[in-house]
Structure 1
Amino acid sequence: MAFGPPTARTIRWSSWEGLEDGLEHVDIRPEGSGTVAAGVIVGAEESACYGLTYRLVMDEAWRIHEARLEATTGPSLHLQSDGQGSWRADGQPRPDLHGCIDIDIQATPLTNTLPIRRLNLDKGQSAIVRVAYIWVPSLSVEAQEQRYTALDPGAQYRFESLESGFRADLPVDGDGFVMNYPRLFRRLS
């Protein structure tokens, strides 16, 4: 299932428990030959409330080239990648992230779209990806391995964290954006 070119759109998710526990608003738009996503999240992690803004710049294959994140609690993070697995964080080389093509921001289902679109998996096909995982609200980053499996290409994918053993079946829309993320996020109309 090949996804079509991105179109400008706005997506909102709430936390699984409801708006009082978290809300995300993201604007996605084509820019040059790639895509830019700019969002804001209001949430809580282990009773600590936070706000987070982010801006992601992806190429035509949905590989991250730049990510800027800023938490209202103070931390900020600027990641840059060559799209081939070499990274810099706040201007400094990050060899521990070598081989990561995607990022996964803990507080949003948006970043699941990157490998889903990029991998273009056929039914039953799986792929293990190495991601730069960003913890929120600290904005610390570490490499992790995840697996994606196409259950119904273009409609549903299984996500598995090989670090924690967590897994979830993710329904997506026709552009590969997560609709609902069981126990974590719900798409708002």
Structure 2
Amino acid sequence: MISETVAEIRWRALDREGRDSCRLVRQHDDGWMLLGHARFRAAGSESRIDYLVRCDPDWHTLGADVTGIWDGTRVALHIVREGPTWTLNQQRQDGLDDAVDIDLSFTPATNLMPIRRMPEIGGVSVRAAWLSAPGAPLGPLDQRYTRGRGGIVHYAAEQTGFSTDLRVASSGFVTEYPGLWEAQGPV
């Protein structure tokens, strides 16, 4: 398998002490991978999480692995999407039949996939399989991304009521996630 790093980014957390770094890797003819390392402190506990997200050539999630310590809890998660079925550590996750993306709540990296699928004008609505906390099952997160001018993408998540304007690099990585993350390194 031949692969090449297409883009790299480092983020600094704005809502807590923390950082995240991620590489976008193209696997020739096989798709894409996001390889990342998130380190942050929240509620007095340190989190050290490594993540790998696998995507097909059209930017749909095939699976993810999340390992390390998350808010004081050891995690070793293996997530797989086969057609409409999602599993977490071999346990079927319900309510995700329309989900095509993974959303890892602790990193801005997973916004990249729907952003890469967006048309030049307009937007895209997606359902993501949302990993909101350690030990939680995957849940649905309906998201809308709408392209604006100057590298701005409006983001809204239905289940949480959260919305913001993201600044996005040509790579598809978010460079500014107001109040949460800002890029500190290459994009």
Question: How would you bin the TM-score normalised by the shorter chain?
Answer: 0.7 to 0.9
TM-score by length of 2: 0.86
What are the ranges of 5 or more consecutive residues in structure 1 without an aligned counterpart?
1-5
Deviation at 1:89, TM superposition (A): 1.6
- The residue number in structure 2 matching 1:22 is 18
- The residue number in structure 2 matching 1:69 is 66
2-side partners of 1:65 and 1:59: how far apart? 6
2-side partners of 1:17 and 1:163: how far apart? 21
2-side partners of 1:47 and 1:138: how far apart? 19
2-side partners of 1:86 and 1:133: how far apart? 14
Q: Give a deviation string over 1:42-85, Cα, whole Å, max 9, x none.
A: 11344432111111111111111110001323122111113x43
Aligned Cα RMSD in Å? Answer: 2.0
2-side partners of 1:186 and 1:101: how far apart? 26
Which amino acid in the other structure matches residue 32 of structure 2?
Answer: T
1-side partners of 2:113 and 2:101: how far apart? 7
What are the ranges of 5 or more consecutive residues in structure 2 without an aligned counterpart?
none
Greater per-residue strand proportion: 2
The question of whether the paired residues in 1 share the 8 Å contact of 2:102 and 2:130 is answered with yes
2-side partners of 1:16 and 1:50: how far apart? 16
Matches within 5 A, 1:157-172: 157-172=153-168
Q: How many matched pairs?
A: 178
Asked if 1:146 corresponds to 2:143, the answer is yes
Deviation at 1:133, TM superposition (A): 0.7
Q: Percent identity?
A: 27
Q: Give a deviation string over 1:88-116, Cα, whole Å, max 9, x none.
A: 22122223221100111111111111111
Matches within 5 A, 1:29-178: 29-33=25-29, 34-72=31-69, 73-82=73-82, 84-118=83-117, 120-123=118-121, 125-138=122-135, 140-152=137-149, 155-178=151-174
Deviation at 1:122, TM superposition (A): 3.8
The question of whether the paired residues in 1 share the 8 Å contact of 2:124 and 2:145 is answered with yes
Which amino acid in the other structure matches residue 109 of structure 2?
Answer: L
The question of whether the paired residues in 2 share the 8 Å contact of 1:57 and 1:67 is answered with yes
Which amino acid in the other structure matches residue 22 of structure 1?
Answer: G
Q: Give a deviation string over 1:24-57, Cα, whole Å, max 9, x none.
A: 1112211132111111111134443211111111
2-side partners of 1:142 and 1:170: how far apart? 23
Q: Give a deviation string over 1:124-153, Cα, whole Å, max 9, x none.
A: x2332111111244454211211111113x
Check 1:40–1:108 CA distance in 2 against 1; reply closer, same or farther (3 A cut). same
Which amino acid in the other structure matches residue 129 of structure 1?
Answer: V
The question of whether the paired residues in 1 share the 8 Å contact of 2:93 and 2:138 is answered with no
